[in-house]
Amino acid sequence: MTYNHEKIWLSIDCLVFGYDVKDENLKLLLFERKVNPFAGSWSLIGGFVNVNEDICHSAERVLKTFTGLEDVFLEQLHTFGKTERDPGGRVVSILYWSLIKLDDIKKDIVNSHGARWFELDKLPNLILDHERMVNLGVSQLKKNAISSPIGFELLPEKFTIPQLLRLYEAIYNRSIDDRNFRKKILSTDILIRLNEKDKTNSKKGAYLYKFNEENYQRLKSEGYHLDIAIG
Amino acid sequence: MTYNHEKIWLSIDCLVFGYDVKDENLKLLLFERKVNPFAGSWSLIGGFVNVNEDICHSAERVLKTFTGLEDVFLEQLHTFGKTERDPGGRVVSILYWSLIKLDDIKKDIVNSHGARWFELDKLPNLILDHERMVNLGVSQLKKNAISSPIGFELLPEKFTIPQLLRLYEAIYNRSIDDRNFRKKILSTDILIRLNEKDKTNSKKGAYLYKFNEENYQRLKSEGYHLDIAIG
DNA sequence: ATATATAACCGTAAATTTAACGTTTAAATT
DNA sequence: AATTTAAACGTTAAATTTACGGTTATATAT
């Protein structure tokens, strides 16, 4: 016992955003809380930090436990520490967020673990300060989609420009001019066009692109800023 | 005991940045650590979170205790939680930062509490992961000075445009074109020109400005972005 | 008194970027 | 062969940014 001070419960909460290119909707993963207080209510996925565990590993563990997912985008957002935030005791909670490219496989994995996807504008009431956490996450999403091409975390490896556009429209909840968007995003040299087309949405087919990891990292470090025109 | 889980030491560390319009230098406040391990080494100011205390109040208390300062800009940055970050035990630390407008009074208050200001490029070795924390703070400073006019937190209530310019030059560590800077910052309607001049730096004197709090808040919420031209 | 020096301040033109919109293309369907 | 539709390409005016040059006010030196 090197330090002589009182200790505190430390927890992780995790905002899991998912995007499905098929139905073009942003979703949030929620879980039916099993422990009291508030057992049975909807909440973010979460759990306690163990003493012998890095907090980033706690977050990975929580995500894995509740969703089966691993090796996905997972980042710390903010720490919530009001004394009265949890009536069950003094718990300080570190909020993480994860961005998931939804496909049927991932949807199934998640469902089999008892969590459920909700559309962002159809969320149920949430326990504790979880609503504040959601708001923080949504505003971070908007902020990040401008200042770094974080949108890519939500799309499959190969995607079309129209798909990317519709993701941005879902994040900003408004329409965006497709011609200007295309020009802007292509001018960043962040996309690599493949010799493949996706024909699920049109007869002509849309070119598939992948993501230039190198240029992405460069832009990120140089402090890139993508302004998106209102359509 | 509502929850059955092990608890953890939770601490606050606080990056205190100061700027003095006289010597035009960005400074960081450091403290000679009193407790083992590493007693005698330089560290950020910090302390443990009490069970009955909001973490933001812990941060305020830590700042007050070490510097005598209160009612200053203080914001949470990030939580550091590697298991091996502190050889003294498992301590998860929440990093805050504070931005201070330095004047002689504040300098004295701080000195009398045993802390010391260091210029950013002349920092001593720091304990634990405090160097990482400093790096995070510096990059946040650059990021924030672009996306919100956070620079104002570091200037006195009345300041001149040349002073504001030199602060930005100190933050970005490069020269900025004064004519374009002036145009840009005035176009935001964030400054209110006073009928007073500051003549410490020139015979002509530079107009003093104050800060339009209302427009500042508006710009901040609208997601303002100040691009600064290289001179 | 007048000249000088200097920071503060003002202005402009070229280059670039943004915003708003029209047109063409490819391929499946009728 | 005509039609339809999403995808892709192109154009122009307006706004902004960049890179400068010139003017102003005033303390200090002559």
In a shared domain, residues B43 and B129: yes
How high is the pLDDT of residue B109?
75
In a shared domain, residues B110 and B188: no
Provide the pLDDT confidence category of residue A231 given band limits of 50, 70 and 90: very low
Picking from A129, A147, A165, the residue at the C-terminal end of a domain is A147
In a shared domain, residues A75 and A154: no
How high is the pLDDT of residue A2?
81
CA atoms in the 13 A half-sphere facing the CB of A176: 25
pLDDT at B231 over 50: no
A83 → closest Cβ in B3, B53, B82: B53
Interface touch B90/A52, C-beta < 8 Å: yes
Residue A3 lies in a domain: no
Interface touch A54/B89, C-beta < 8 Å: no
Asked if residue B74 keeps its beta carbon closer than 7 A to nucleic acid strand C, the reply is no
Interface touch B94/A88, C-beta < 8 Å: no
How high is the pLDDT of residue B230?
47
In a shared domain, residues B214 and B133: no
b (16+ CB within 10 A) / e for A92-112: bbbbbbbbbbbeeebeeebee
Percentage, residues of chain B above pLDDT 90: 58
Q: Which residue of A has its CA nearest to B9?
A: A7
How high is the pLDDT of residue A199?
94
In a shared domain, residues A127 and A207: no
In a shared domain, residues B21 and B118: yes
Q: Which of A26-40, B137-151, B197-211 has the highest mean pLDDT?
A: B197-211
pLDDT at B213 over 80: yes
Distance CA(B93)–CA(B9), nearest Å, equals 8
Distance CA(A98)–CA(A18), nearest Å, equals 8
Closest residue (Cα, C1') to C17: A184
Asked if residue B183 keeps its beta carbon closer than 7 A to nucleic acid strand D, the reply is yes
Query: What average pLDDT is seen over chain B?
Result: 88
Over residues B19-43, mean pLDDT = 87
In a shared domain, residues B174 and B141: no
How high is the pLDDT of residue B180?
94
Residue B90 lies in a domain: yes
Closest residue (Cα, C1') to D16: B184
In a shared domain, residues A156 and A143: no
Interface of A to B at Cβ within 8 Å reads 1-3, 5-10, 35-37, 48-56, 58, 76, 78-79, 81-83, 88-92, 94, 142-143, 146-147, 223, 225, 227
How high is the pLDDT of residue B149?
65
Q: How far is the CA of A48 from the C1' of C21 (A)?
A: 55
Helix (H, G, I), strand (E, B) or coil at B31: strand
Q: Which amino acid is at B49?
A: V
Provide the pLDDT confidence category of residue A149 given band limits of 50, 70 and 90: low
In a shared domain, residues B123 and B43: yes
Distance CA(B2)–CA(B103), nearest Å, equals 49
How high is the pLDDT of residue A222?
65
pLDDT at B1 over 80: no
Residue B4 lies in a domain: no
Residue B177 lies in a domain: yes
Residue A231 lies in a domain: no
Structure tokens at A221: 């470090």
What CATH number does residue A183 fall under? 1.10.10.10
B144 vs A62: which has the higher pLDDT: A62
pLDDT at B229 over 90: no
Provide the residue range defining the domain that includes A179: 150-222
In a shared domain, residues A160 and A138: no
In a shared domain, residues A24 and A47: yes
Picking from B115, B147, B179, the residue at the C-terminal end of a domain is B147
pLDDT at B225 over 90: no
What CATH number does residue B106 fall under? 3.90.79.10
| Class of residue A60 by CB neighbours under 10 A (exposed 0-12, middle 13-18, buried 19+) | buried
Q: How far is the CA of A228 from the C1' of D6 (A)?
A: 21
Note the strand C nucleotides within 7 A of protein beta carbons.
5-12, 18-22, 25-29
Q: Which residue has the tokens 């429209």?
A: A169
Number of domains in chain B: 2
Percentage, residues of chain A above pLDDT 70: 92
Closest residue (Cα, C1') to D21: B179
Summarised one tens digit per residue, pLDDT across range B78-117 is: 999 999 999 989 999 999 999 998 887 777 777 777 788 9
Over residues A195-214, mean pLDDT = 93
Summarised one tens digit per residue, pLDDT across range A12-59 is: 999 999 999 888 889 999 998 887 788 889 999 999 999 999 999 999
Residue A91 lies in a domain: yes
Strands B91-101 and B9-20: parallel
Residue A147 with chain B: CB contacts under 8 Å: 147
Residue B88 lies in a domain: yes
Picking from B123, B147, B171, the residue at the C-terminal end of a domain is B147
Residue B229 lies in a domain: no
Helix (H, G, I), strand (E, B) or coil at B38: coil
Q: Which of A9-13, A28-32, A209-213 has the highest mean pLDDT?
A: A9-13
* Residues A209 and A158: beta-carbon distance below 8 Å: yes
Bond preceding residue A37 cis, omega within 30 of 0: yes
Over residues A121-128, mean pLDDT = 89
In a shared domain, residues B22 and B120: yes
Over residues A175-199, mean pLDDT = 93
